[in-house]
Amino acid sequence: MDDASASAHSVDFADVTALAIDPALEPGVPFDGRGSVVTVGTFDGVHLGHRQVLQEIARRAEGTGRRSVLVTFHPHPLRIVRPEMAPPSLTTLAEKKEILAGSGLEYVVFVPFTPVLQQYPARRFVEEILIGRVDMRELVIGYDHGFGRGREGGVETLRSIGAEIGFDVDVVEAVHVDGGPVASSRIRALLAEGQVETAARLLGRGYWLDGEVVQGERRGRELGFPTANVRIEDPHKMLPKEGVYAAWGWVRGERLPGLLHLGPRPTFAGFAPTVELHLLDWSGDVYGERIRIEVAAHLRGIARFDSVDALIAAMRGDEAAGRAYFRGK
């Protein structure tokens, strides 16, 4: 195979980003004989099951003097393999980086998932990326993990490759919460049902929506409930079930209680669905600013009201329910 043909069938390593969690560390995973303890996966949500794996590689790395490295992908592989089946994202790329910054890892390596990478057999992925790029000596994976073309790189296949090439493979068992294993698919199902409190228990944190405050129709202000209209920039970010929620708003570094409206406004014909946050006992101009919404608890579904007065009464009921929720917290 000539150089041009080989390049067309290989990952462009110029696009592979190795971030050091500690700014004091040099960029890129160095090859200095220490070797690395590595895990691989999409890690969407960075939930409690993921954190168990990350804690394990950090523990093993510390015990052996090796580096702890996560190799992860962006975008989600299904967006390349089967776009019509790709799930919505629990974490944007920026959110994932933020969460991983507190994971105890030394390095996170972001590999762009492309049609070329999709065709890599498990062995080639191991040799070119895990060994060739991050000097892997030990691989730690979750109980249900698989990578490589057709997810052929399951536990037994990887152990066979490891025995031949010279690296160990260890498996971390599932973390169970509320009677079932923690998984990104389960968290998505909970969010789709509006069960954000249970989803938060599986995530180990509240569910976030980040975005910029943009100019809205100012309808809430006219009704006595001014809202921040938030534009969620990532089109793949999952929104919980439509409805009204108790939610925390992170504004200028301060965590404030509020009410979140997700979805259409059927009382007012012709108005597009929105993500609107009303902050309780706070006022100020936040247009153009970025804020974070931490969705806390589902209060009610979307409803159409026969009059503006009926809508205002319902909003006052939402406020009372929200205040009761926050008093309990």
The two structure tokens encoding residue 114 = 């492309």
Q: What is the Cα–Cα distance from 109 to 187, expressed in whole angstroms?
A: 25
The residue written with tokens 């938030």 in the block is: 230
**Order of all β-strands in the sheet with 136-142:** 17-20, 107-112, 67-74, 36-40, 136-142, 168-172
User: How far, CA to CA in Å, does 203 sit from each of 155, 186, 190?
Assistant: 25, 11, 11
This prediction's pTM: 0.87
The two structure tokens encoding residue 253 = 């570094």
The residue-averaged pLDDT of 276-300 equals 92
E strands within the chain? 17-20, 36-40, 67-74, 107-112, 136-142, 168-172, 176-177, 180-181, 207-214, 228-231, 243-251, 254-263, 274-279, 290-300
pLDDT digits (tens, 9 = 90+) for 93-112: 999 989 998 888 898 988 88
How many C-beta atoms lie closer than 10 Å to residue 67's C-beta? Answer: 24
The residue-averaged pLDDT of 3-24 equals 52
pLDDT digits (tens, 9 = 90+) for 41-51: 999 999 999 99
Q: What is the CA radius of gyration of the chain?
A: 23
State the SS3 of 123-177. Answer: HHHHHHHHHCCCCEEEEEEECCCCECHHHCECHHHHHHHHHHHCCEEEEECCCEE
pLDDT digits (tens, 9 = 90+) for 229-280: 999 989 899 999 999 999 999 999 899 999 999 987 644 444 456 899 999 9
**How do 107-112 and 228-231 pair as beta strands?**
unpaired
Return the closest-CA partner of residue 201 out of 210, 211, 209, 191: 191
pLDDT digits (tens, 9 = 90+) for 71-94: 998 888 888 888 999 999 999 999
The two structure tokens encoding residue 328 = 């309990």
For 23-55, b where at least 16 C-beta lie within 10 A, e where not — what string?
eeeeeebbeeeebbbbbbbbbbbbbbbbbebbe
152 is catalytic: no
Task: Please tell me which residue, 67 or 148, carries the higher pLDDT value.
Answer: 67
In DSSP terms, 244 is beta-bridged to 261, 300
The residue annotated as part of the active site, out of 156, 276, 294, 319, is: 276
Q: What is the Cα–Cα distance from 313 to 86, expressed in whole angstroms?
A: 40
Q: Set out the domains of the chain in order of their start, with CATH numbers.
A: 10-177 (3.40.50.620), 206-328 (2.40.30.30)
Residue 26 has a pLDDT of: 60
Contact 233, 221 (CB under 8 A): no
Task: Please tell me which residue, 130 or 116, carries the higher pLDDT value.
Answer: 130
